Structure 1
Amino acid sequence: MCTAESPQNSRSVGPSREMPFHGQVDLHCHSSCSDGILSPAALVSRAKANGVEVLALTDHDTCAGIAEAVAAGAGLGVEVIAGIEVSVAWGKRQLHVLGLGVDPEHPSMEALVQAQRRRREARAEIIAQRLEKRGFHGALAGARAQMEEGAEVLARPHFARWLVAAGHVDSATRAFKKLLGPGKIGDVKPDWPELAEVVELLHECGGLAVLAHPLKYGFTRTVLRRLLSAFEECGGDAVEVVCGQQTPVQTRDLAAMAVEAGLAGSIGSDFHTPGQPWAELGIARMPDGVEPVWNLWQNGRPIRPVR
């Protein structure tokens, strides 16, 4: 947990300035380079079809798809922002933090990606061993076979897809409920880097740090408020006030907590695959009353769209 006093905060959360773009924004999505289905180019094309003009590609623990996404965006008129979703530790809890506008070629980013890949590979081997003991033979090879071409991250959704393909369960949702989700045999927690360490690294690499999908952790309201306070103390910049499926009441509540914690708001679909309307590209809208994260790009904490 982040308990130390925070350094002088360099962001300016003053009066909002004019938004630097006028179309829809999606600042959280995944391609086949991690656990998504679509290639980076196909992802950008789908975003364009959905009216998205600014898209952040935030694959899990990798920046491998950024170059392809940028090239596709240049041809389609979609501004692509280099992003990443990093798995981190907050005490004994696991969280995800987005880096928006990071430099994929920064030495610290390259080192982080390599370290996360090693952690994920080690986790995948443990998951496979546990599944083997339960009679699910060939789990590791099966999960690898579910990785899309060019994927650099082996993740639990690949095991879920294999379990479905092998006929062990009837859906990926069922795979997580029975075998891969919290408290199940596939719930293996690697030695993720600490929250404060990752926030500092993302800033070092030129990006903003955004707490991803805060409602997905199952925290009580008290713990969630403590997390937002700790994130701000660590130098975090924003929290996703809209991500995937949530009610208007939840959105208003998150927006109020973001303001209370002194954090800006971000939005994203957390898109992984077509056919999930609650997590479709471009679905999220920024609620009133919270400072949009893109204002920070103009108010002293610029992030660089990749050119």
Structure 2
Amino acid sequence: MIDLHTHSSRSDGTDAPADLVAQADEAGVTTIALTDHDTTAGWVEAASAAQRHGIALVRGAELSTRHNRRSVHLLAYLFDPDDAELAEEMRRTREDRVPRLQRIVEHMAADGFPITWEDVLAQVPDGPVSLGRPHLADALVAKGVAHDRSEVFARWLHNGSAFYEPHYATTTLDAVRLVRAAGGVPVIAHPFAVRRQRAVDGDDVAMLAEAGLVGIEADHRDLDDAGRTLARGLATDLDLAVTGSSDFHGHGKPNRLGENTTSPESLARIVAAASGATPVLG
């Protein structure tokens, strides 16, 4: 069971990296990828836990990128974390998340929501964390404004909301090139998700493939049958690896570990394409 898209408390997941790996082991996952948003802060802890539990870890990140002014998430696997250009892009994105989140909080407070910046910070664990809207969602849940993160995003924090604020993000095309230059393997995440603004089409995926895109995430709970069929068709036409994953966030989302998985053949192709890092074998 291979799950190539999960998040820990180093970004917007609710479990520490070691606890995430332990849960994956309990769920029967044999290979897990840690893909926190724009950060590698959980890599060391996750690697140690993977060795203890005897499962394989694919180290990665989910990069925030932009295409035609819309958000596109790019999964980056097995890149060199010390690559200067890619590390700088992730740093810029992480740092710009803070004033962006502060602007959203100020806007919501001015609109009557019982929320302060201190309330948001109270939801952030100690240590390096890539801040995001889920931490604000947790604060609103703690205030009794909503039942869970999903309700907050559906009502107030989705990309089309009046409260939406953008943050710095490089272009998807440049991100693909940066990941490849860092020895990593770029895979576009949930490209045709029905619960998000569609940011790319088939021609865009073809353009990214020409620039070095290696794979496409076709099996994800946010893709309907039409989206999965489209993704698989593009994978065939463009010779892309097909991945499937849970996009697990702990109790922050309903997604469960291993609910969508990747074939051993696709994993082998990703590993073979990487030169920046190797999987940690438990």
Q: How does the TM-score come out when normalised to structure 2?
A: 0.89
Structure 2 distance, partners of 1:52, 1:174, is 29
Q: Which residues of structure 2 form unaligned runs of 5+?
A: none
Structure 2 distance, partners of 1:33, 1:227, is 31
Answering whether residue 260 of structure 2 is matched by residue 281 of structure 1, we say no
What CA RMSD, in Å, does the superposition of the two structures yield over aligned residues? 2.3
Shift of 1:219: 2.6
Answering whether residue 121 of structure 2 is matched by residue 144 of structure 1, we say yes
Shift of 1:234: 2.4
Answering whether residue 171 of structure 2 is matched by residue 197 of structure 1, we say no
The equivalent residue for 1:17 is: none
Shift of 1:185: 2.9
Equivalent in 272, 287, 290 of residue 249 of structure 2? 272
Q: Report the 3-state secondary structure (helix = DSSP H, G, I; strand = E; otherwise coil) of the residue aligned with 2:11.
A: coil
The equivalent residue for 1:3 is: none
Equivalent in 17, 23, 27 of residue 40 of structure 1? 17
- Any conservation in 2 of the 1:181–1:187 contact (CA below 8 Å)? yes
Structure 1 distance, partners of 2:22, 2:140, is 30
Choose 1 or 2 for highest CA Rg: 1
Q: Say which is worse superposed, 90-99 or 174-183, in terms of deviation.
A: 174-183
Note closer, same or farther for the CA distance 1:179–1:296 as it changes in structure 2 (3 Å cut). closer
Equivalent in 219, 226, 243 of residue 198 of structure 2? 219
Shift of 1:108: 2.7
Answering whether residue 268 of structure 2 is matched by residue 294 of structure 1, we say yes
- Any conservation in 2 of the 1:139–1:159 contact (CA below 8 Å)? no
Q: Say which is worse superposed, 181-190 or 66-75, in terms of deviation.
A: 181-190
The equivalent residue for 2:28 is: 51
Answering whether residue 217 of structure 2 is matched by residue 240 of structure 1, we say yes
Structure 1 counterpart of 2:108, one-letter code: L
Note closer, same or farther for the CA distance 1:301–1:104 as it changes in structure 2 (3 Å cut). closer
Structure 1 distance, partners of 2:86, 2:129, is 15
Structure 2 counterpart of 1:281, one-letter code: L
1:88-122 Cα deviation digits (max 9, x unpaired): 01121110001101122332333223211121112
Matches within 5 A, 1:1-307: 24-216=1-193, 217-219=196-198, 223-247=200-224, 250-274=227-251, 279-286=255-262, 292-298=266-272, 301-302=274-275, 304-306=278-280
1:270-303 Cα deviation digits (max 9, x unpaired): 00024866x2112213479xx72532433x5555
Structure 2 distance, partners of 1:304, 1:53, is 16
- Percent of aligned pairs with the same residue? 30
